[in-house]
Amino acid sequence: MLFHVQMDVQIPHSLDPEVAAQLIAKEKAYSQELQRSGKWRHIWRIVGEYANYSIFDVEDNAELHQLLSNLPLYPFMKISVTPLCRHPSSVREDDS
């Protein structure tokens, strides 16, 4: 199943900068692992914001929830999820 996920990150200014840096490094490693596995198919930064639009390709809602809730920055995120399906007018065969 494909999902469009918007993640808005709001790290509190009161968080220790070293802790924030460690969380950001763990987040990068985890997200790149998911990208290499094919679960996190696309990620785009939203210009001028600490946010992204992403496409996930997972088995079901439960798997997506597990992946998202394991993000190190999850406690500091506002997340919106939209399920997707292939459009009948698409000319691409690999977008299902």
Is residue 53 included in any domain, yes or no? Answer: yes
* Residue listed under structure tokens 């292939």: 86
Q: 22 to each of 30, 51, 52, 61, how far by Cα in Å?
A: 12, 18, 20, 28
Q: Which pLDDT value is given to residue 96? A: 64
Is residue 93 included in any domain, yes or no? Answer: no
**Number of separate domains in the chain:** 1
The model carries a pTM of 0.91
> Which range of residues forms the domain containing residue 36?
2-84
Q: Contact 31/43 with Cβ under 8 angstroms? A: yes
Count of other CB atoms within 10 angstroms of residue 3: 19
Is residue 34 included in any domain, yes or no? Answer: yes
pLDDT digits (tens, 9 = 90+) for 77-93: 999 999 999 888 989 87
CATH number of the domain bearing residue 29:
3.30.70.1060
pLDDT reading at 1 higher than 80: yes
* CA atoms within a 13 Å half-sphere pointing along the CA-CB vector of 29: 7
> How would residue 95 be classed by pLDDT, with cut points 50, 70 and 90?
low
